[in-house]
Amino acid sequence: MIFKEILIRYGELSTKGRNKNDFIRRLRENIRYSFADILPLKIRAERDRMFIEIENDEKYQVLMKRLPEVFGIQSFSPVAACNKNMDDMKQLATEIMAQYGDEPLTFKVEVRRTDKTFPFDTYMIQRELGGTVLSKYQNISVQVKKPDVELRVEVRYDAIYMMGQIIPGAAGMPVGSNGKSLLMLSGGIDSPVAGYLMMKRGVRLEAIHFYSPPYTSEHSLQKVKDLANELTKFGSKIRLHIIPFTEIQVLIKERVPENMSMTTTRRMMLRIADKVREEVGALAIVTGESLGQVASQTLESLTAINDVTATPILRPLIAADKLDIIHIAERIGTYETSVLPYEDCCTIFTPARPKTKPKLEKVAYYESFTEFDELIERAVRNREMHLLPEKKATADKFADLL
């Protein structure tokens, strides 16, 4: 293996001012979390980029596979090094370009000379290395503007460093750099995507799910755990709050007119979520709602639902098309789990003709005949909590001897 380190470019972090070091520190911590299984990692952070030392091929393969999922990384490149003489530089350039095989491609040589005392200037390095690559590989030609490959050469004080790939990262902000919010995670396609988009903006998540046995099964609960677990790969653990919701949901069905029941159900969910949010110190609630997608997501419905709280409700999908949401879900790996045919509490007791433009005063009127406060407090108090990803139990190799 010729590569010695991976260069990470910050992208958006580079625009930060006095708080820049805090963002960089958070990114470094998230990288260590994401690669806990291959620690220790030697990470060196500089003002405009970060370097991860590659100790062996196994670590290299893991890093290359998972780095594109870590928010805060604009792009990264595997970097090779050689001694500061032209013969070694030519040899390394040909080895790097060898990875592209025999397919026709264009390239150019870009040089950055930190060590200005190096006897070869930029033009001479470009000419020598370019000529060597062209004579070695007949399938490669020079293209100055938008080549297929940029062979980047850095002349540092200790050695020559070269790279031939620029791999796109997840971009965004490091998870945890923009506070914490509570994600309402239903088990459908939309809410995991909403969580992903908020994590991309640096928000650390806790999640809440409403569970209504026996109307919803253990399979539906496991499905939600799997979705929350998928989101942890983007750089942070997630605590999942499971709310027992059967009692409240059955009471709504009995006491509230059918066409208003969906609105009241969402209002009770939001009231519960707001209490959990306050307990865990989250600053906002995140939902996967998209305007007009279903009856409870019209502007009138959202207004009636929002009325129960003054907490900011973040809806990153509010103007997104369903096909765009599905595309993101497929890309981040949540779609196949989301479409598993296990009902959640949002799909049971669904009225045949729900109100799409509920009047707030009417909703409040029908709810006034039932004392929901005590039920809400009990649901919050009796919730289960799971920290994801869950630690795998270590098998006791001496168990059979007891």
pTM metric for this prediction: 0.86
SS3 content of the chain, % helix, strand, coil (to 5): 45, 20, 35
d(CA 160, CA 86): 10
Q: Specify whether the CB–CB gap between 106 and 147 falls below 8 A.
A: yes
Interior/surface letters 326-360, b for 16+ CB within 10 angstroms, e for the rest: bebbeebebbebbeeeeebbbeebebeebbbebee
What's the average pLDDT block by block, 10 residues per block, for the chain (402 residues)?
Answer: 89 69 90 91 89 93 94 94 95 93 92 93 95 94 92 94 93 92 95 97 96 89 95 91 94 89 92 97 96 84 93 96 96 94 73 78 88 94 93 52 48
| DSSP category for residue 400 | G
Task: Please tell me the predicted confidence (pLDDT) of residue 259.
Answer: 85
Specify burial of residue 254 (Cβ count, 10 A radius: 0-12, 13-18, 19+): exposed
Task: Please tell me the predicted confidence (pLDDT) of residue 402.
Answer: 47
Q: Which helix (H) or strand (E) holds 226?
A: helix 218-231
| DSSP category for residue 148 | S
Task: Please tell me the predicted confidence (pLDDT) of residue 17.
Answer: 63
In single-letter form, the type of residue at position 319 comes to: A
Strand order, beta sheet including 238-244: 313-314, 284-286, 180-184, 204-211, 238-244, 384-388
Task: Output Rg (C-alpha) for the chain, integer angstroms.
Answer: 27
Sequence-separated contacts (24+) of 13-22 with Cβ below 8 Å: 13/72, 13/173, 13/174, 14/48, 20/47, 22/177
d(CA 123, CA 342): 64
